[in-house]
């Protein structure tokens, strides 16, 4: 379990506790603090569980670099990236591991999530992509992203992948901000099928202060560049790519309105 954090004093305790409360107990927690200036380190150090490994950056680096550093430090067979304001369900790891046993060819497993607000109240229920476990190949994932104009697989808390792939996939993108997760999932899927399961694995927290919620108009500009210029869409019909931009732009505006309403 990899948790990158920067000034996460308001949520980091709950996030760590959600991992420690897992029914599946054979894991480590790698936390990379990105030179926080609040009491984040004090909160992390209050936990005495030997499975927690804390690394502190001497100075703040870009968030994408901190994500890359964090997953590179994972020592287990499986890697999961959990942002410092998100939460895991107690059965998240056990459900994922049980599903993998039945689908050993999968290089990653993906569950669903609900959405919570700043104080932890559910504002959007989880929705399953498929009612039963389903293996998706690289081309299927590309098609889903084009058809929906969004990230069909979910944010980082939804996915767990085989650690041997990490070095081959490379760094989290310095180009994409709004689509940083999806770009990484595209590159993961080059190495094998991704297993989508109908289990809820966690809660994604939204607030007016989160990284992606602050992107605004730049997210729409990024959507245009992502769907029209990303290398994995090069063989997709231009009309479908343009329609994906339209859908993505509408979703960005809707997301901004939704977050603003929930924050008031």
Task: Output the six-digit token pair for 8.
Answer: 């996460």
Alpha-carbon gap, residue 105 to 108, rounded angstroms: 9
> CA nearest 10: which of 45, 40, 53?
40
pLDDT of residue 207: 75
CATH number of 2-263: 3.90.550.10
- Report the percentage of the chain scoring pLDDT > 90: 87
Q: 65-104: per-residue pLDDT in tens?
A: 999 999 999 999 999 999 999 999 999 999 999 999 999 9
Q: Put residue 35 in one of left, alpha, beta given phi > 0 → left and psi -120 to 50 → alpha.
A: left
Residue 245, pLDDT above cutoff 70? yes
Phi and psi angles of residue 33, each rounded to the nearest 5 degrees, phi first: -85, 130
Residue 254 — pLDDT band, cuts 50, 70, 90?
A: confident
pLDDT of residue 253: 81
pLDDT of residue 54: 98
Residue 13 — pLDDT band, cuts 50, 70, 90?
A: very high
Q: What is the overall mean pLDDT for the chain?
A: 93
pLDDT of residue 219: 85
Task: Please answer whether residues 71 and 1 qualify as being in contact, where contact means their C-beta atoms are separated by less than 8 angstroms.
Answer: no
Buried b / exposed e over 52-90, threshold 16 CB at 10 Å, is beeeebeeebebbbbbbbbbebbeeebbbbbbbbbbbbe
CA within 13 Å, CB half, 163:
14
Q: 17-64: per-residue pLDDT in tens?
A: 999 999 999 999 999 999 999 999 999 999 999 999 999 999 999 999
Q: 196-221: per-residue pLDDT in tens?
A: 999 999 999 987 655 554 556 788 89
Q: Which residue in the block uniquely carries the two structure tokens 């992390």?
A: 44
Count other C-beta atoms under 10 Å from residue 118's C-beta.
17
């Amino acid at each position: 379990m990899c948790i990158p954090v920067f000034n996460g004093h308001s949520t980091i305790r709950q996030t760590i506790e959600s991992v420690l409360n897992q029914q599946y107990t054979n894991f480590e927690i790698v936390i990379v603090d990105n030179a926080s200036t609040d009491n984040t380190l004090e909160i992390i150090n209050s936990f005495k569980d030997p499975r927690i490994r804390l690394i502190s950056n001497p100075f703040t680096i870009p968030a994408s670099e901190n994500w890359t550093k964090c997953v590179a430090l994972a020592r287990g067979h499986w890697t999961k990236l959990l942002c410092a304001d998100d939460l895991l369900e107690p059965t998240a790891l056990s459900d994922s591991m049980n599903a993998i046993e039945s689908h050993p060819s999968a290089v990653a497993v993906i569950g669903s999530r609900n959405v919570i607000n700043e104080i932890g109240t559910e504002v959007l229920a989880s929705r399953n992509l498929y009612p039963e476990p389903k293996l998706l190949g690289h081309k299927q994932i590309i098609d889903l992203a084009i058809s929906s104009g969004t990230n069909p697989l979910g944010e980082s808390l939804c996915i767990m992948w085989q650690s041997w792939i990490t070095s081959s996939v490379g760094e989290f993108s310095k180009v994409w901000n709004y689509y940083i997760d999806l770009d990484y999932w595209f590159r993961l899927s080059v190495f094998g099928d991704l297993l989508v399961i109908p289990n809820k694995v966690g809660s994604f927290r939204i607030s007016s202060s989160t990284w992606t919620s602050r992107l605004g108009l730049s997210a729409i500009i990024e959507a245009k560049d992502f769907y029209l210029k990303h290398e994995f869409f090069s063989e997709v019909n231009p009309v479908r790519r343009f329609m994906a931009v339209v859908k993505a732009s509408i979703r960005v505006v809707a997301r901004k309105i939704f977050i603003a309403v929930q924050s008031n």
